Amino acid sequence: MPRDPRYDILFESVKIGPVTARNRFYQVPHCNGMGHPMPSGVASMRGVKAEGGWAVICTEQCDIHYTSDISPYAEARLWDDRDIPALAAMTEAVHEHGSLAGIELTHNGLHALNRMSREVPMAPSDIVVENYDPIHARAMDKSDIKALRKWHRDAALRSKKAGFDVVYVYAGHGLSMPMHFLSSRYNHRTDEYGGSIENRARLLRELIEDTKDAVGDSCAVAVRFAVEELMGPGGITVEEEGKAVIEMLGELPDLWDVNVADWSNDSTTSRFSPEGSQTEYISFVKQMTSKPVVAVGRFTSPDLMVSMVNKGIVDFIGAARPSIADPFLPKKIEEGRMEDIRECIGCNICVSGDSTITPIRCTQNPTMGEEWRRDWHPERIQVKKSDDSVLIVGAGPAGLEAARALGQRGYTVALAEATTQPGGRVTLESQLPGLAAWARVRDHRLQQINNMTNVTIYLDSRLDADQIREFGFQQVILATGARWRGDGVGRKHREPIPGHDGANILTPNDIMAGKAAQGRVLLFDDDHYYMGGVLAEKLRLEGHEVTLVTPAADVSNWTHNTMEQGRIQTRLLELGVEIVPQHGVAGLRSGAATLACVFTGRTRDIECDTVVPVTSLIPNNALYQSLVADSSALESAGIKSVLAVGDCLSPSTIAAAVYAGHKAARGLDEAPVEGVPFKREIPAIEC
């Protein structure tokens, strides 16, 4: 299908100093949980994006020196020449598809705790570090600043040797030394590097000039700059530092990559910010510089992308998360296949890879992070190995993805769903406050399946073991999901809470099914992801007095990994939800509950009319157990395999369910792999 001419502007080439980008799609730097320990994985992941049409592909932050050690986090490194080959693997993968490779050179300043290198952290002034490590950063003297400039220049020269086309000076997210010098809350100096904004911007100016002098003849020099920290007068603001820096330095680099800080504001989840939420903060930049500008905003709508360019707000459509959800987003727009785009849902499960120092993953794109180690491609899959027909039971995220991928392989697939609506938990959870975008997980897969003549969905079709054996399918995949427990069993309480059977209990499934809570609500969150917080929000918005009790130190504790915990707790407090951290539930009775401190065991009573335990789930695996219990009956029915996937095997995230469905589809009829089923990157021993 030809491209819609409305989108032609997105495919114009753009000059960036001495290099030219083939279109306006720009994958900005983003972390991935692989970094320097897994260079092959990083190179393949970035290379797939270049294949998918992104004109510029950047690294994650790349630490330039051992005094910028942020171990244990797995970012890129360019400490010396020995790091060049690993980074060159990425540039080669990107160049293979005609794209430019960018590197984000970084010194993390007081955010580099140097746990591995054991060097003393440095900062503009003597100051304690921001997390809870018992460490102070020392004030840099003039010789330290001179050394930093040399380290950065050396890293720029190494970047050129590694084949990079765009070299960054990083002053964004509050994480880098130039940003620390710009910020008056970190910079208390009284010399020419402190005081006025001109002085505080001196280091940034010098690093730009040094980099231009070192590699500017053949490499573009970009600056990533946070124009706003959303902290009010205590932080960097558009009206003060933001506009002043662009006015002073606007013509120095070859490109401005502008955003808001910190990372949690730059990559806000869809629960708290819509697409394009940064536009109001960065829209002034192009009015103050002639150089090209890139900005992000979880852009998934081609029409909004065109609008951003036509309005003169940006020259490039910047993306991290949308490029993760669909590495082929540009190519699909170019080929007029908008309906095939896997739109980012803004859940930030991708960020959790960096937070937990594990390879990146994506709810929408189950191949993300698996490009090298499993040889998975987001658009290509091996053809079927037999003419077997496949029955999938359950049209939740695992079942839908298994059906879509098996249909793509060429199998004849029947997808049976017990209810009248496909989507399973996705359909239910996307109706909760702030989670509407999550319905894209269901909608994308339904759209793809509806275009397949070899996949058929049967709704309102609850099946038992006898029916499955009678149908004549050779392969059976069960994706029947899970249900929330109502007895309080979870991490804190490994046995049912005493008195639960006499209390007015509503499970999350009950609430999502429309059952109404009565009076005062006690919500016990021992799940620690989003469900407890979002149900507390829903119940409070419905007018209930809500008390959220959790054994953790704060609400929705795991969402620190998705950078939304602070927003969740703030919203609940602003709504008037009472939060009782570090407590379990010792007992329940009609109209009341007994809470117990997780440290001392001291108890106190709280009045409540409804109890909502958000603790753990029970797999809906009875159908699976019934089928596999009688192997002779399976053999007589001609069924070769029965596989349980997703929540009915092991309840987890939606991302894990989609991955499980995809993995099952790729593995059907394939020979089992002996040993470790994926490639590993093994450290070399240097003598």
Q: Which pLDDT belongs to residue 28? A: 98
Whole-angstrom distance, CA of residue 316 vs CA of residue 26: 6
Q: Tell me if 644 is assigned to some domain.
A: yes
**Is there a single domain that holds both residue 101 and residue 159?**
yes
Asked if pLDDT for residue 1 goes beyond 80, the answer is: no
Q: Tell me if 550 is assigned to some domain.
A: yes
Q: What is the mean pLDDT of the chain?
A: 97
Alpha helices per DSSP H over 383-529: 397-409, 425-429, 440-450, 465-471, 508-512
**Is there a single domain that holds both residue 46 and residue 95?**
yes
Alpha helices per DSSP H over 2-139: 39-51, 84-95
- Which two structure tokens, joined as six digits, stand for 666? 């790729």
Q: Which pLDDT belongs to residue 685? A: 87
347 flagged as catalytic? no
- Between β-strands 592-597 and 583-589, what pairing exists: parallel, antiparallel or unpaired? antiparallel
**Is there a single domain that holds both residue 403 and residue 552?**
no
Domain-terminating residue out of 339, 356, 373: 356
**Is there a single domain that holds both residue 17 and residue 53?**
yes
- Which two structure tokens, joined as six digits, stand for 366? 């189950």
CA nearest to 101, candidates 153, 148, 161? 161
- Between β-strands 56-63 and 76-77, what pairing exists: parallel, antiparallel or unpaired? parallel
Q: Please enumerate in sequence order all residues whose Cβ is within 8 A of that of 281, keeping only pairs 6 or more positions apart, or say none.
A: 227, 228, 238, 242, 260
Q: Which pLDDT belongs to residue 311? A: 97
**Is there a single domain that holds both residue 420 and residue 527?**
no
Residue 581 C-beta-side C-alpha neighbours within 13 Å: 10
For 345-391, the pLDDT digits (tens) are 999 999 999 999 999 999 999 999 999 999 999 999 999 999 999 99
Mean pLDDT of 619-623: 98
Whole-angstrom distance, CA of residue 177 vs CA of residue 183: 10
For 207-253, the pLDDT digits (tens) are 999 999 999 999 999 999 999 999 998 899 999 999 999 999 999 99
Mean pLDDT of 63-71: 96
- Which two structure tokens, joined as six digits, stand for 222? 């970009």
Q: Please enumerate in sequence order all residues whose Cβ is within 8 A of that of 493, keeping only pairs 6 or more positions apart, or say none.
A: 526, 584, 585, 615
- Between β-strands 293-295 and 255-260, what pairing exists: parallel, antiparallel or unpaired? parallel
Q: Tell me if 369 is assigned to some domain.
A: no
Whole-angstrom distance, CA of residue 376 vs CA of residue 658: 14
Q: Which pLDDT belongs to residue 419? A: 97
Chain centroid, CA 133 distance in Å: 26
Task: Name the catalytic one among 26, 31, 63, 69.
Answer: 31
Whole-angstrom distance, CA of residue 611 vs CA of residue 524: 8
Asked if pLDDT for residue 411 goes beyond 90, the answer is: yes
pLDDT band at 683 (very low <50, low <70, confident <90, very high): confident
Q: Which pLDDT belongs to residue 684? A: 84
For 481-540, the pLDDT digits (tens) are 999 999 999 999 999 999 999 999 999 999 999 999 999 999 999 999 999 999 999 999
Whole-angstrom distance, CA of residue 126 vs CA of residue 68: 17
CA nearest to 108, candidates 79, 83, 80, 84? 79
What is the domain-level CATH number for residue 219? 3.20.20.70
- Which two structure tokens, joined as six digits, stand for 116? 């591995």
**Is there a single domain that holds both residue 60 and residue 126?**
yes
Q: Which pLDDT belongs to residue 643? A: 98
Whole-angstrom distance, CA of residue 355 vs CA of residue 106: 18
Three-class DSSP category at 531: helix
For 16-38, the pLDDT digits (tens) are 999 999 999 999 999 999 999 99
What distances in angstroms separate CA 629 from CA 465, 525, 647, 651, one per listed residue? 10, 35, 20, 22
Tokens 């609850």 map to which residue?
Answer: 462
**Is there a single domain that holds both residue 211 and residue 129?**
yes
CA nearest to 510, candidates 494, 529, 531? 531
Total number of domains constituting the chain = 3
Q: Tell me if 513 is assigned to some domain.
A: yes
What is the domain-level CATH number for residue 507? 3.50.50.60
For 303-324, the pLDDT digits (tens) are 999 999 999 999 999 999 999 9
Task: Name the catalytic one among 36, 107, 152, 173.
Answer: 173
CB-based contact 546:557 (threshold 8 Å): no
Torsion of CA 109, 113, 118, 120, to 10 degrees: 50
For 204-220, the pLDDT digits (tens) are 999 999 999 999 999 99
**Is there a single domain that holds both residue 395 and residue 530?**
no
**Is there a single domain that holds both residue 155 and residue 233?**
yes
- Which residue range is the domain that position 627 belongs to? 389-481+620-667
Mean pLDDT of 674-686: 91
Range of lowest pLDDT (328-332, 504-508, 573-577, 680-684): 680-684
**Is there a single domain that holds both residue 207 and residue 344?**
yes
Name all contacts of 122-127 with Cβ < 8 Å and 24+ positions apart.
122/67, 122/148, 122/177, 123/180, 123/186, 124/180, 124/181, 124/186, 124/187, 124/188, 124/189, 124/193, 124/194, 125/186, 125/187, 125/188, 125/189, 125/194, 127/186, 127/188
What distances in angstroms separate CA 311 from CA 283, 284, 316, 328, 500, one per listed residue? 9, 11, 12, 25, 59
Chain centroid, CA 305 distance in Å: 21
Asked if pLDDT for residue 687 goes beyond 80, the answer is: no
Whole-angstrom distance, CA of residue 263 vs CA of residue 106: 15
Q: Which pLDDT belongs to residue 669? A: 95
Q: Which pLDDT belongs to residue 557? A: 98
What is the domain-level CATH number for residue 469? 3.40.50.720
Range of lowest pLDDT (111-115, 250-254, 396-400): 111-115
CA nearest to 538, candidates 563, 514, 564, 562? 514
**Is there a single domain that holds both residue 41 and residue 72?**
yes
Q: Which pLDDT belongs to residue 207? A: 98
Asked if pLDDT for residue 130 goes beyond 90, the answer is: no
Q: Which pLDDT belongs to residue 507? A: 98
Whole-angstrom distance, CA of residue 28 vs CA of residue 295: 8
Q: Which pLDDT belongs to residue 588? A: 97
529 flagged as catalytic? no
**Is there a single domain that holds both residue 214 and residue 267?**
yes
**What is the residue-wise DSSP string for 342-373?**
-------HHHHHHHHTS----SS-TTTT-TTT
Domain-terminating residue out of 580, 601, 618: 618
How many residues are given for the chain?
Answer: 687
Where are the strands (E) in 40-181, listed by range?
Answer: 56-63, 76-77, 100-106, 122-123, 127-128, 136-139, 166-171
Q: Which pLDDT belongs to residue 233? A: 87
173 flagged as catalytic? yes
266 flagged as catalytic? yes
Q: Which pLDDT belongs to residue 131? A: 82
For 440-484, the pLDDT digits (tens) are 999 999 999 999 999 999 999 999 999 999 999 999 999 999 999
DSSP secondary structure letter of residue 505: B
Where are the strands (E) in 193-254, listed by range?
Answer: 220-228
- Rounded to two decimals, the pTM is 0.96
* Backbone conformation region of residue 195, classed left if phi is above 0, alpha if psi is from -120 to 50, else beta: left
Whole-angstrom distance, CA of residue 601 vs CA of residue 323: 48
Three-class DSSP category at 393: strand
Q: Tell me if 27 is assigned to some domain.
A: yes
Q: Which pLDDT belongs to residue 88? A: 98
Tokens 């199998």 map to which residue?
Answer: 411
- Which two structure tokens, joined as six digits, stand for 49? 């994006």
What distances in angstroms separate CA 352 from CA 48, 361, 563, one per listed residue? 21, 8, 8
Mean pLDDT of 668-673: 91
Asked if pLDDT for residue 52 goes beyond 90, the answer is: yes
Q: Tell me if 382 is assigned to some domain.
A: no
Tokens 């921001």 map to which residue?
Answer: 130
Q: Tell me if 368 is assigned to some domain.
A: no
Task: Name the catalytic one among 26, 73, 170, 281.
Answer: 170
Task: Name the catalytic one among 69, 210, 266, 526.
Answer: 266
Q: Tell me if 672 is assigned to some domain.
A: no
